[in-house]
Structures are given as structure tokens and as C-alpha cells.
């Protein structure tokens, strides 16, 4: 008996930056579109914060940075953010997919995508894979 593959689709693109303000300014310069910092928030578990820009139904662009007011996490931050230097230029760093079965998606992946980790921002909660060292798969 063959098990059905999980439904997986693109969710968002990730821009990393040394500060949220620098990332938002870079994005405005690149695309001519302003981001609203109030759309996003803090990821307390990893000491990061973000701003979001909708690119259409269910798909968006995220600018993420280490939150200077946040705490230092007990583990490596996601998207390789602990390796960003203070003068690093913002960059399109990664993409994120959503799935209806993260365990099956991880098991089906031909590459190691990291540990399944619970995450939250305000009242929103989800599961995401993050490598133990915080680095991106295939990087």
C-alpha cells in the first residue's frame, strides 16, 4: 500500500537583514513598495522579529532580523541569522513551504531539512523545520 504524499505549497520568501529597518528600506528600494512593521511581530523563542508584505492570496514576503530587544535563544536562530554581520546587506535568503503533514514532508525530503520545531508569533502558532546549527539546507 502506497502512502499519499503530503500537500505542500509555497508560503513565503524570506529576506534576512542585520536590522528590520535596513531590510524594509532595502525592500522599498528594490521593489518600490513600503512594508508595514505592524504586520509581523516578534518570535520570542528565537529572538527575532519580522515584517510581512502580501504578494497575493496565501503568499507573502518576509523581512526578518534579530530583535535587539529580544532575548538570546538557547539554540541557533533560523535562516543562518547568527552568522549575519552588522554590515551585511539584506538578501533573499530562503523560501518556506506549508504542508498539511510536516512529519510526512520531512520523511519524504531527499535532504535533511532540520528538526520539527514549534514556533509562535503572538497568537499564531505553527511547526517549522530548523537545522540544529540554524543553517539553511543546501547552503
Q: What is the pLDDT of residues 33-78, one digit of tens each?
A: 888 766 778 888 899 999 999 888 889 999 999 999 999 999 999 9
Q: Three-state SS for 59?
A: strand
Closest CA to 48 of 11, 25, 23: 23
- Name the pTM for this structure: 0.86
Compute the half-sphere exposure of residue 46: CA atoms within 13 Å on the CB side of its CA: 26
Q: What is the pLDDT of residues 76-124, one digit of tens each?
A: 999 999 999 989 999 999 988 899 999 999 998 898 888 998 988 888 8
Closest CA to 39 of 51, 49, 25, 48: 51
pLDDT band at 8 (very low <50, low <70, confident <90, very high): confident
How wide is the angle at C-alpha 136 spanned by C-alphas 61 and 50, nearest 5°? 35
pLDDT band at 17 (very low <50, low <70, confident <90, very high): very high
pLDDT score, position 37: 61
Amino acid at each position: 500500500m502506497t502512502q499519499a504524499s503530503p500537500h505542500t505549497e509555497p508560503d513565503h520568501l524570506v529576506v534576512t537583514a542585520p536590522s528590520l529597518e535596513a531590510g524594509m528600506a532595502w525592500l522599498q528600494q528594490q521593489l518600490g513598495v513600503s512594508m508595514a512593521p505592524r504586520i509581523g511581530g516578534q518570535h520570542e523563542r528565537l529572538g527575532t522579529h519580522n515584517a510581512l508584505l502580501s504578494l497575493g492570496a496565501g503568499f507573502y514576503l518576509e523581512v526578518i532580523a534579530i530583535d535587539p530587544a529580544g532575548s538570546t535563544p538557547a539554540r541557533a536562530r533560523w535562516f543562518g541569522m547568527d552568522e549575519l554581520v552588522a554590515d551585511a546587506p539584506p538578501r533573499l535568503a530562503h523560501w518556506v513551504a506549508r504542508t498539511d503533514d510536516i512529519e510526512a514532508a520531512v520523511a519524504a525530503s531527499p535532504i535533511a531539512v532540520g528538526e520539527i520545531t514549534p514556533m509562535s508569533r503572538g497568537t499564531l502558532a505553527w511547526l517549522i523545520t530548523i537545522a540544529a546549527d540554524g543553517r539553511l539546507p543546501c547552503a
